[in-house]
Each structure stands twice: as structure tokens, then as C-alpha cells.
Structure 1
Amino acid sequence: MDTEAQHTERDRSSGEEERSRSARVSGTDAGAGRRDDDPEGAPPGAGPAPADRTSAHFSGGLTWRRTGLVGLVCMVFLLLFSHFVLQPFLVPSRSMEPTLQVGDRILVNKLAYRFGDQPRRGDVVVFDGTGSFVQEDPGGNPVTGALHDAAAALGLAEPDETDFVKRVVGTSGDRVVCCDKDGRISVNGVPVRETYVMLGDRPSAVPFDIVVPDGTLWVMGDHRSQSSDSRDHLGQPGGGMVPVDRVIGRADWIGWPFGRWSTVPDTDAFGSVPAWTTGGHGTAHAAGPAGPRGSGHG
């Protein structure tokens, strides 16, 4: 056997294997094992493969869709929560100063009177004044009304013009009189020391002597000279009385601005006032003392 020929064949074979190995490492074969999104395997300036662009677009759309769905669910939850439990209410006027100020966002507890409890003297309540403080509205644009109601329910817009916030001064059967010889309001014959009234205001510049019918309330603002309340509707149908079933809830907290974050102050001004009922001949009969909020009375 020709030894030189064998060496020549072996050297040629070794050279071909070496060139093949080099090509796999640095040439076209190396790109076959590289991922499509490897920038080193793509020509200069080339972008991602079409499949990757489609995947990124789909992923981005899915993310926005998911974000929108979560936002919608949160909005529906807030609307339901404000409709049934706790509703923000923007105070638009000075009628309840100094207790509430213009721009305050109060949180109205809609469960306060939901389970048989009734508004008590001294409670600050929000109510729908349709039929008592304002005339019935034939209705406007339903779409605009729905959008406004949603914004108002979240405390982002002023409440409807039919919604009011006032303090309960008289409840069913109470006789409320203004004023006694010392210029004070009396309820069921007992003078009331109204420490919540705006400093410098008189209890009322309008004299009145009324008995609150069953199922209604006599309400007044704390800033008496700036408040349009039950006194202003004495000669109208209903006599300025607010039906209890028109009460939206009790204002329990001031939620905004943060500097005024607190509970709405309670009052013991009516602590010594007896609860009265009206007899068959229009006479009033004492029925026991009225306790503070939480103890209840008939």
C-alpha cells in the first residue's frame, strides 16, 4: 500500500472536516440554530420577524382590553356601593355653615335609616326635596341626566337641584315654635340651645308655630340667614315638611378636603326635649324623653 497516498487522503479529509466545522460555527449553518429574534443573526437594520410583531400587537391589545375591563368593573362596583351604602355628596352652598362648608364632600350613610330606624332631631340629613322644596320636574334629556347622576353619585359633580342637606329640628308629632321671649326655638315646650347655628345668626327671622305631621320632618340649615329651608315653604303644599321616605341618608363623615376629614359633629341640643304625640283632639301629650342618637324614640 502506498503510504504517501494514504497520508495525502487523510490530510485532505481532515482539511474538509475542519472547513466544515468552521463554517458551522461562523457561517450560514450557525444561523439555522439561532432564534428568529436574535439580532446577531439578522442583517443590519432588520427588525423583528413578522410573527413577533403580531405577537407583540396581540399582547398589547390584550393588556389594554384587560385594563379597560378592570376599570369598568371598578366603576360599576363604586356606583352600586354609592347607590346602596355610602354616597359622596358635594356641598354646594353656605346653608350649613359652620358645620359644613362650600366644597365639602360629605359621605352619606344610606343604611342609617334602612332597617326601621328613623331620623332624629339633630341629625344632618340629605333628602330629595321634590314635591316639598321644589316642584315636580317633567324631566329632561335622559342620557344627560343619567351621566350627571353617575358623576354626582361618585361626588364628581354637584348634586341634583332637588337634593338638599339640612338639620332635623322636628320629627313626627313635634310642636316647633319660634321664638320664645329669649329668641330661642322651642320644641315641645322646651327651649333648644342651638350651639351649631352660625355665630351672629338669629335662630329665625321668621316666626312660626307648627306641628309636624306623622311621617314628615321639619328641617333647617345651620346658617339660618343663608338657608332656604322648611320656613320658606310654610304657605306651599306640604307646609315645608319633608316626607321621611324622601330622606336619602344621614351625613356622617366629611371625606374631602383632607384638611377637614372628620365625622359630622353630633349635638346634644335636643337631649332634654320630650317626644310628643298628637291626641285625637289636637292636643299634645308627652311620651317620654328623647335620647341621644342611637337610643331612639317613637
Structure 2
Amino acid sequence: MIKKQSSNSITEAITERRKALYIRKGYISLLIRIALIAAVGYILFTQVFLITQARGNDMFPAIKDGDLIIAFRLQKELVKDDIVVYEVGDVTRLGRIVALENDEVLLDDSGVFRLNGTPQSGEIVFQTFPKDGYDYPLQVPEGRLFLLGDHRNQTKDSRDHGPVSFEDLKGKVITILRRRGL
């Protein structure tokens, strides 16, 4: 009888150790999966996508103060009317591409924006007046874009700091999540 009890206790001890080993392996596997998901998330949201919040009403009415912006960082082909996130100095801004490299921008006191001699209006309700510092017509240099905010009377854009270099672009806006009292 003593032999039966000791063999049962040995079997139980082995079973308990196996359970503990399986539990430990399960936790290690879970930690590895969590680390892998965190690494993939980090790469996605630092190298592929950009998530930022709109500050101010530079792009009003298209983008309002506080809206959450998701931008794609790997966009290679940009076209007129794309909205982009860019950096000037240490300030991150939003702007609409209104002229590509080698385009001619003409702003005058009438408030009409002309691109390559053709008046541009689109859906922008605000007039586009020149600001001090640049002479128009302005030829957009190679490797640069001319960006304007939609709320032309209150924004800082290429009329203030000149055409923006491709290196200063942070991403092309692909999604706008509206803030609803948050």
C-alpha cells in the first residue's frame, strides 16, 4: 500500500510539474506575441502612418481645430489639392498643395490666386492675398511645393515661409476624424 501511495504521489507531482511547465510556456508565448504586436504597431505608426491632431483653423472648413488626422508617410506621388502634414522649423502644419515644382504662382491685391496664368478658385471661400516677403509671380523651385491653408485670411503658409521642401513633408492626409466635443 505504501508503494501505491508513493507511485500516486509521484504521478501527481509529475502532472503538477507538467501543468506548471505548460503554463510557463503559455505565458512566454503570450509575452512574445505581445512584444511582436507592439513592435509592428511601433513601426506602422512611426514609419508608415502619422497620427496627429489639427491645431488651429488653418484648413477650415475642410479640417477643424481638434480633428484627428491620419497621414500616410510613404506617399510618393503628390498632386494639386492634396492635403499634407509638413514641418516648418519646429511647428507641424497642415496645408493644401496648390502648386507643384516649376509652376508659376501669381498673387496680387485683387485676391485672385493664379496658377500658370489661370485663375484658381475651387471650393475655397476666402480670397488669397499676397503677404510681405515674396515677389510674385513666383516660380516654384525644383523639389518644392507651394502650400496654402484653406482659411487664407488667418493661416501661415507658403506666402509666409516660401515653398516647402519635399523633405519637410511628413505625410499625405488620408483620413480626418471629426472631433465631437472631446
Scaled by the length of structure 2, what TM-score is found?
A: 0.74
Match runs of 1:104-253 below 5 Å? 104-113=67-76, 117=77, 119-127=78-86, 129=87, 133-134=88-89, 161-179=90-108, 181=110, 183-195=111-123, 197=124, 199=125, 201-204=126-129, 206=131, 209=136, 210-233=138-161, 240-253=162-175
SS in 2 for 1:67: helix
Name 1:87's counterpart in structure 2. Answer: 50
Distance 1:60 1:86, change over 3 A: same
The structure whose Rg is larger is 1
Q: Distance in 2 between matches of 1:206 and 1:250?
A: 26
Query: CA contact under 8 A between 1:180 and 1:186: conserved in structure 2?
Result: no
Q: Distance in 2 between matches of 1:96 and 1:104?
A: 11
- Aligned-residue sequence identity (percent) comes to 22
Range moving further from structure 2, 204-213 or 72-81:
204-213
Q: Distance in 2 between matches of 1:63 and 1:102?
A: 46
1:77 deviates by 1.4
Say which structure is richer in strand.
2
- Whether 2:41 is the aligned partner of 1:72: answer no
Scaled by the length of structure 1, what TM-score is found?
A: 0.48
Higher RCO (CA-CA < 8 Å; seq separation 6+): 2
Question: What stretches of structure 2 of length at least 5 have no aligned partner?
Answer: none
Query: CA contact under 8 A between 2:107 and 2:129: conserved in structure 1?
Result: yes
Q: Distance in 2 between matches of 1:258 and 1:83?
A: 23
Distance 1:69 1:226, change over 3 A: farther
Distance 1:70 1:245, change over 3 A: same
Aligned residue type for 1:204: F
SS in 1 for 2:41: helix
- Number of residue-to-residue matches in the alignment: 175
Q: Distance in 2 between matches of 1:258 and 1:228?
A: 23
Aligned residue type for 1:79: Y
Query: CA contact under 8 A between 2:66 and 2:179: conserved in structure 1?
Result: no
Q: Distance in 2 between matches of 1:167 and 1:217?
A: 10
Give me the CA root mean square deviation: 3.4
1:65 deviates by 2.7
